[in-house]
Chain A
Amino acid sequence: MVRLRKQTLDGNVETLLLAILEAGPSYGYAIAKELNQRCQGILQLGEGTIYPVLHRLEEKKLISAKWRLAGNGRERKYYRLTARGRKALVTNRQQWQMLGVVMRRVLKSTKNLSPKPQLKGATI
């Protein structure tokens, strides 16, 4: 079983959250749910751990936040991508696509000594 290491992910959760918010404004719980769904069990983030990342993105002005009244009558904090965030996402996406191509090309040319690894969820 191959485990996705935390170090591999460090710094990239920001990009994942930006990608989730690309679809439109959303709030913490919905973002966490969507992320876990898209990751299909390969990456299991502690749901509370997305908030420090969201707040960091807000500090960097890559996303903005607004409190709005939710259906249950409670105030809810909604996040949306800013122009700067959208730009950062485009750049990060390009970087990842390039890296993906490089990794695939290099790893493909290496003789595969071990059987195909089974993916296992990483928990943060």
Chain B
Amino acid sequence: MSRALQKYLDRVMIYANRNEKDAAQIRAELEDHLLKKIADLEESGLSREDAVFGAIEEHGHPRTVGYGLRKRFSWVDVRTHGTARGFVAVGPKAVGIIAMGGVAFGLFAFGGLAVGLITFGGLALAALFSFGGLSAAVFGYAYGGFALGLVAVGGFACGLIATGGMAIGLIVPQAGTSIAPQNSSLYTQYLQDSFLMSRQITVISTFLFWGTLVILILTYLVLTKMEYHRINRADPKLVD
């Protein structure tokens, strides 16, 4: 078999990242396909070299084919391109129970745009807890530059309970600028404890936010670095 063909299959299998037994079967199947294709192209009049390159070209980019051949939903799926899917998914786009990426969808999502149950991100949209530049947790707790939620804490916070630089809500403990219904009995009740409550909420939120953010960034970097290292070890040209 030609070296170009071997190299192509090696690359596909690097991206496929399957266990030894699965990898051997998948490789054998693709090899059979390519050899048959080469034979057909040669029969149609192409030289051996042209037939090999034609077969490889028509088969598709090794990354596209390889990623397609990954398990549909694995425990850990880290990708340098495309959409990662797994219990822990890390990639430019990530879908998983724990998803980290440019765009992340998951129960626990972290990314530029994060959507899920608990989210961290530039734009974080969550059902329960969201932390981010712009965060919204309509049924729960939101913390961020702009926070929107049942409980909202942030530079600009809007919610049932809201605290921050500017807060809009029914209950607004110690906000810089507060907009709350002055005739609300709840407002009067909470006004007495507002300073303490505001401090507690802010301290807990800030601790949670920065602590989790550091852990998430480190996890993301370590997993991505490991994936690049794995690819680089197998074929340095793929990382170049």
Q: Assess the A46–B72 pair: CB atoms within 8 A.
A: no
| B26→A51 contact, CB < 8 A | yes
Q: At the interface, yes or no: A49 with Cβ under 8 Å from chain B?
A: yes
Q: Is the CB of A47 within 8 A of B33?
A: yes
A53-90 near B? 1/0 per residue, CB < 8 Å: 00110010000000000101011110000000000000
CB A121 to nearest CB in B, in angstroms, measures 13
Kindly state whether residue B12 has any CB partner on chain A within 8 Å: yes
Instruction: Bits for B33-47, please: 1 = Cβ < 8 Å to A, else 0.
Output: 101110000000000
Given A51-B26, A77-B29, A46 contacting B59 (CB threshold 8 A)? yes
Return A76 CB to nearest CB of chain B, in Å. Answer: 5
CA distance A27 to B29 in the complex (A): 9
Which B residue's beta carbon lies closest to that of A77? B29
If A28-B30, A32-B33, A51-B29 are given as contacts, then 7 extra A-B residue pairs at C-beta distance below 8 Å, sorted by A number, are: A29-B33, A29-B37, A46-B59, A51-B65, A55-B69, A56-B72, A77-B25
Interface: A52 (CB within 8 A) = yes
If A46-B58, A46-B59, A47-B37 touch, does A52 touch B32 (CB 8 Å cutoff)?
no
Determine the main DSSP class of A at the interface with B. Answer: helix
Q: Closest B-chain residue to A31, C-beta based? A: B33
Q: Return B61 CB to nearest CB of chain A, in Å.
A: 8
Query: Does A24 touch B at the CB level, under 8 Å?
Result: no
Q: Using a Cβ–Cβ cut-off of 8 Å, how many residues does chain A contribute to the interface with B? A: 19
* B interface residues (Cβ-Cβ under 8 A, vs A): 12, 25-26, 28-30, 32-33, 35-37, 58-61, 64-65, 68-69, 72
What's the least CB distance linking B103 to chain A, in Å? 17
> Which B residues are in CB contact (< 8 Å) with A115?
none
A–B complex contacts, Cβ < 8 Å, 21 sampled: A27-B32, A27-B33, A29-B32, A32-B33, A47-B37, A47-B58, A47-B59, A48-B12, A48-B60, A48-B64, A48-B68, A49-B65, A49-B68, A51-B30, A51-B65, A51-B68, A52-B65, A56-B72, A74-B35, A76-B32, A77-B29
A80 to B: closest C-beta gap in Å: 15
Q: Is the CB of B32 within 8 A of A70?
A: yes
The CA-CA distance from A51 to B69 in the complex, in Å, is 7
B6 CB to closest chain A CB (Å) equals 16
B65 contacts A77, C-beta separation under 8 Å: no
